[in-house]
Structure 1
Amino acid sequence: MLTENHHGLAAMLSVRGNTTTSNHSCGSDDYKYPLFSAFFIIILSIGLIANCLALYVFIWLTTKKNPNTVIMINLAFSDLSFVLTLPCRIAYYLMDGEWIFSDFLCRVSTYAFYVNLYTSIFFLTTLSVFRYVAILFPMRSKTIFTIKRAAVISVAIWAFVALTSSPFLLFGSHEQGGKIRCFEPKDVDSWKRILVMNYIALAIGFAVPFLVILLCYVRIVVRLRCLDRNLKRRKLSQKKSVAMILIILSAFFFCFLPYHVQRTVHLHFVLSSEPDCALTALMQKIIVYMTILAAANSCLNPLLYYFVGENFRKTLSLRERGSLSSSFKSISLAYVLETKNGKQRRNL
């Protein structure tokens, strides 16, 4: 709703300027349809396979679960839920911005994007806090964060994000330019409501979690640097784990940060500045790419599970070894049977 909105933006600028300018007066935006289609097909393909595999490993193959596992299960479920709405978006873009599904699906698809975006941020923040406590308070971490408490935290995150994102359910499909549109605000009042929601989401949904993560990692780095050399050797694997978290979460915030900054600038320009076609077209192009980056987080989270989730990595390794062992045993058994049969034929 805050993203694929060039038609709604052009229409609103026309109203503000008291002109009869068409939706395409600021230039054609047809470039966005193949762009969104191509990237969302890639995100759908990777995200569906990766998150289904992650849930399968976490739920059915991981025997020793911990609080991190609970959070990662919820994160994977959030990504999978969003990915499952992508076929509707892809169809919309392949049909050059014409919504052929129900109004309900339009609302759900819009809602799912923001629920996934902010549950991902909060679940990643929770994992960072868990890691912070585990490193700075290793003896108390097991009693502070239990599986039950991790489940309660997960439910609280889902409830909070679902409730605060519910206003997006008010934005359904509507007719514009001779087509049924979705993901595009229809009037000035819609943009004003979105601006208010943007600042709330920016503060609570992004800025606060981002500051918490930065604080956690600064404290972790300081703590590791203060360890003596002997302890450093014993903590080498833990240090590598923290370094990997920094790398992966940095990638995630390269996805989230540009999107939130550009979304805010875009909305402020729309509601505060005089219409400027050149600037409008430029900002629309930027927000298209930022939206794709934000949506791509559903494909990146499985990397977090593999490199940070020790149990996840061990389970996959054991599974691979088990498969190789079974294959080796099958080949060995076949070889033995063939050898015995050959000896029996020679004896005859």
Structure 2
Amino acid sequence: MNARLLPSPAVLGNNTSVIMEFLSECFHDDDEFKYRAYTFTYLLLFPVAFLCNIWALVVFSLQSSRRNSASCVVMINLALSDSSFSLTLPLRLAYYFKDGVWNFPDWLCRLCVYGFYVNLYTSILFLTLLSMLRWLAVAQPLRHSSMATPTRTLLICVGVWLFVGVSSAPFLSSGVKYRDGFPRCFEPSNPASWERILILNYIAMALGFILPFLTIIICYSRLIHHLMAHPGPQGSSQVSTNRRCTRRRSVHLVTMVTANFLLCFLPYHVIRSLHLHAVCGRWNCDIIMVLQRAVVVTLCLAASNSVLNPLLYYYSTRTFRKSMRDAHSSLLSNREGSFRSRLSLRMRTRRRSTT
């Protein structure tokens, strides 16, 4: 395979059209793989993410007692983030079904780009906050009950939304661009934008991934150390049962959040950084295309966090499972009651017609 090298800046000078020609050669020879991968992924993600997160919000709304807990406040915000992101997936699907032609307004293109990064980093920060609350509840329950009030937690969640929303605002500048005579979305427009994206990538890596990930590692290591060092009382069977339930929920939360970070967030950030360095450093074009495919795969994994979070609610929260069963039973009873009323109405109608 012949190696294709992008020219150095000294050779190209300020000739932006030549740079764009080489960038187009590296990136758009492989559009078919990208379109197919995104189409397949979003077709699977949209119904699952939308229905599961909307259902999670319904279940949380039924938990009158749990709505006053700090962890429930965080989970509601996490479900809101995921359900909002899922609403942008039909627009992405329409775009990739049409082989990369954007037939919607420019502001919708900007909103889709912006929405992905807002969902990505609000999810990371909400999961980090949830992990901190779990460690505080297990290791220092008295401090947790006094500090982690629902009002304070809600204010922190609002702060997360504002911080991520303002920090992601530069992505609102990535709107519709024309390539080969067609309107395109989700594509940087010129070489200068790649340099800016590389700078934003470092900021997002430090504040939106590395710092939260280190916080989660510290919280979970101290949580596991506390659980190992304090096996709990052996007297009351009820106390022992409650302690085992708390341990089980803590283990489930540790497992789900760690899996989410390692599967969805870590590969995307690592490959994205390598890819941006390859583009800005004008590496071998074949290497750039390999990294481009890897970015596509890891971005699909990053988007899948919106369907993994409902599993976290289910396996780490006992009251969530109970509310789901109650809601399901209530739905079935309502259907059964409606069926019986319709059947009774039909029977009365038939009796009247025969008399």
TM range (shorter): 0.7 to 0.9
Partners of 1:92 and 1:70 in 2: CA distance: 35
1:346 aligned partner: none
Q: Which amino acid aligns with 1:208?
A: L
Give the conservation status (yes or no) of the 8 Å contact 1:71–1:154.
yes
Shift of 1:16: 8.9
- Residues 36-75 of structure 1, C-alpha deviations (whole Å, 9 max, x = no match): 111101110101100110111112x111121111111111
1:283 aligned partner: 291
Which SS does the other structure have where 1:313 is aligned? helix
Give the conservation status (yes or no) of the 8 Å contact 2:109–2:175.
yes
Which SS does the other structure have where 1:175 is aligned? strand
Q: 1:150 aligns with which of 146, 150, 153?
A: 153
Partners of 1:262 and 1:157 in 2: CA distance: 25
TM-score in terms of structure 2 length: 0.84
- Residues 129-149 of structure 1, C-alpha deviations (whole Å, 9 max, x = no match): 100110111122111111111
Shift of 1:318: 2.6
Shift of 1:311: 2.2
Shift of 1:246: 1.6
Partners of 1:36 and 1:216 in 2: CA distance: 35
Aligned in 2, Cα 1:332/1:198: closer, same or farther, shift over 3 Å? closer
Q: Structure 2 unaligned runs (5+)?
A: 1-5, 345-355
Correspondences of 1:86-125 after superposition (within 5 Å):
86-125=89-128
1:342 aligned partner: none
1:256 aligned partner: 265
Q: 1:138 aligns with which of 126, 137, 141?
A: 141
2:281 aligned partner: 272
Partners of 2:311 and 2:321 in 1: CA distance: 10
Partners of 2:207 and 2:17 in 1: CA distance: 31
Q: 2:175 aligns with which of 156, 166, 172?
A: 172
1:244 aligned partner: 252
Partners of 1:73 and 1:109 in 2: CA distance: 22
Give the conservation status (yes or no) of the 8 Å contact 2:178–2:184.
yes
2:163 aligned partner: 160
**Superposed structure 1 runs of 4+ greater than 2 Å apart:** 12-29, 228-234, 317-333
Q: Which amino acid aligns with 2:148?
A: F
Partners of 1:316 and 1:121 in 2: CA distance: 25
The two structures, once aligned, show a CA RMSD in angstroms of 2.8
Shift of 1:251: 2.0
Partners of 2:122 and 2:225 in 1: CA distance: 29
Give the conservation status (yes or no) of the 8 Å contact 1:69–1:309.
no
Shift of 1:159: 0.5
**Alignment: residue pair count:** 324
Shift of 1:150: 1.2
Q: Structure 1 unaligned runs (5+)?
A: 1-8, 338-348
Shift of 1:79: 0.5
Partners of 2:201 and 2:95 in 1: CA distance: 24
Aligned in 2, Cα 1:223/1:20: closer, same or farther, shift over 3 Å? closer
2:41 aligned partner: 39
1:304 aligned partner: 312
Give the conservation status (yes or no) of the 8 Å contact 1:252–1:300.
yes
Q: Which amino acid aligns with 1:265?
A: L
Partners of 1:18 and 1:149 in 2: CA distance: 51
* Identical amino acids, percent of aligned pairs: 40
Give the conservation status (yes or no) of the 8 Å contact 2:249–2:317.
no
TM-score in terms of structure 1 length: 0.86
2:221 aligned partner: 218
Partners of 1:85 and 1:286 in 2: CA distance: 23
Give the conservation status (yes or no) of the 8 Å contact 1:85–1:109.
yes
1:194 aligned partner: 197
1:28 aligned partner: 30
